[in-house]
Amino acid sequence: MVKNKRKVIITSAVTGAIHTPSMSKHLPVTPDEIAEAAIGAAKAGAAIVHMHARDPKDGRPSQDPRHFEPILEKLKNSTDAVINITTGGSPHMSVEERMIPVATFEPELASLNMGSMNFGLFPMLDRFQEFAHEWEREALENSRDLVFKNTFADIEKILGIGNANDTRFEFECYDISHVNNLNHFHQRGMARGPLFVQSVFGLLGGIGAHPEDLMHMRRTADRLLGDNYEWSILGAGKNQMPLATIGAAMGSHVRVGLEDSLWIGPGQLAASNAEQVTRIRTILEALNFEVASPDEAREMLSLKG
C-alpha cells in the first residue's frame, strides 16, 4: 500500500525590512521587483509569500499602502499563492504605522510578532561597510539601542483587526516567552487555531539557533498548544537551511527568503528568492515530503481563501 507523504508548507519572505539594498543586488526593492520575486518563489513551490514593501526611491522599508498596492495587484493576477502581509514592518516603526497595510488590504494571512525584544542588527556592520544611502548604515547603528516593541496592547490591537476581517496570523515567536504569550491569547479566545507558529531562530535579541534551542521551542509549543498548532521554522542568516532541514525532519513547515537570509552558501549570495525555495524543496523531497500547494496550505491553516 502506498502511504501519503506529509505535506510541508514553504513560505517565502521575499524582501523584509532588515536587509538593505546595498547588501545584495538581488534584494528586490521596487514594486515590480518585489512582485516578480514573489511570483518566482511561488512558481518554485512556495505556498505562502510573506510581503513587505519598500520605497522605490531609496529602498527604505515602507508601510504606505501606495507601495503595497501595485505589488498586490500583480500578485493577484499572476499567482494563487497565499499572501501574508507584515504587521512587523520595520522595528523602527510605530505599531500604528505597521498595522496600516493589513487594515487596508484585509489579507488571508498576516504576521504577528508575539513579544518585545532587543533587535541587534549592528553585527552586520562587520560584513557590510559600503552603503549607497545613509539610512542603511543608520538603521544598523541605531539597532544598538533598539527595542522591537510588541506589548500586550499592541498584540491585542493587531489581533482585533485580523479577527474583524477574518485575517489569520503567522505568529512569530522569537523566544520561549513569545510562545507563552501566544498561549495566553489563545486561552482568551483572541488567537484562533489552528495557530500557525513561526519559530524564529538566530536573531541577536532572540533565542539562539542551536538544535537544542529548536527542541526547547518545540517541547514548549507542544506542552502549551497541544494539537492546536501548525509549526514552522525560520533560521536567520546561515542558519536558514540547516534549521529548516532539522525542523522539517521533526514535523515542521519551513520559511526561507531574502528577508531572513541573503545567502545560498557560505559567502555566496542567493541570486533570487526562487533559488532558496528550490534548495529547500530539493531537501524536503529528498526527505520524502511533498510540498503543499496554496490550497492545501489554506486548508491546513483554515484560511478564508
**Which of ligand KMH, Zn ion, none does residue 200 bind to, with CB < 5 to 8 Å depending on kind?**
ligand KMH
Cα 244 from chain centroid (whole Å): 13
Residues 75 and 39 sit within 8 Å (Cβ to Cβ): yes
* Residue showing the smallest CB distance to Zn ion in the complex: 86
Beta strands, E only, 149-282: 168-173, 195-201, 229-235, 253-256, 263-265, 268-269
Residues 260 and 238 sit within 8 Å (Cβ to Cβ): no
Q: How far is the CB of 130 from Zn ion (least distance, A)?
A: 25
Query: Of the two residues 16 and 294, which places its CB atom closer to Zn ion in the complex?
Result: 16
Q: How far apart are CA 203 and CA 300, in angstroms?
A: 28
Q: How far apart are CA 242 and CA 239, in angstroms?
A: 6
CA dist 95 → 36, 86, 152, 158, 291 (Å): 28, 11, 12, 9, 34
**Which of Zn ion, ligand KMH, none does residue 87 bind to, with CB < 5 to 8 Å depending on kind?**
ligand KMH
Q: Considering only residues 87-146, where is the footprint of Zn ion by CB under 5 A? A: 88
From the list 21-29, 38-46, 85-93, 219-227, the region that binds ligand KMH by CB under 6 A is 85-93
The β-bridge relationship of strands 195-201 and 117-118 is: unpaired
Q: Considering only residues 144-203, where is the footprint of ligand KMH by CB under 6 A? A: 172, 200
86 binds Zn ion per the rule CB under 5 A: yes
Binds ligand KMH by CB under 6 A, chosen from 63, 86, 199, 278 = 86
DSSP state of 206: B
111 binds ligand KMH per the rule CB under 6 A: yes
From the list 54-62, 80-88, 128-136, 242-250, the region that binds ligand KMH by CB under 6 A is 80-88
Q: Report whether the peptide linkage leading into residue 91 is cis, meaning its omega lies within 30 degrees of zero.
A: no
Phi then psi for 237, rounded to 5 degrees?
55, -135
DSSP 78-121: H--PEEEE-S---TTS-HHHHHHHHHHH--SEEEEE-S-EE---
From the list 13-21, 29-37, 98-106, 174-182, the region that binds Zn ion by CB under 5 A is 13-21
Q: How far is the CB of 2 from ligand KMH (least distance, A)?
A: 37
Q: Considering only residues 16-45, where is the footprint of ligand KMH by CB under 6 A? A: 16, 18
From the list 12-20, 22-30, 57-65, 263-271, the region that binds ligand KMH by CB under 6 A is 12-20
Binds ligand KMH by CB under 6 A, chosen from 136, 154, 213, 259 = 259
87 binds ligand KMH per the rule CB under 6 A: yes
C-alpha cell at 168: 489569520
From the list 9-17, 98-106, 184-192, 193-201, the region that binds Zn ion by CB under 5 A is 9-17
Binds ligand KMH by CB under 6 A, chosen from 28, 40, 45, 88 = 88
Q: How far apart are CA 273 and CA 266, in angstroms?
A: 17
Name the site residues for ligand KMH (rule: CB under 6 A): 13, 16, 18, 86-88, 111, 113, 172, 200, 259-260
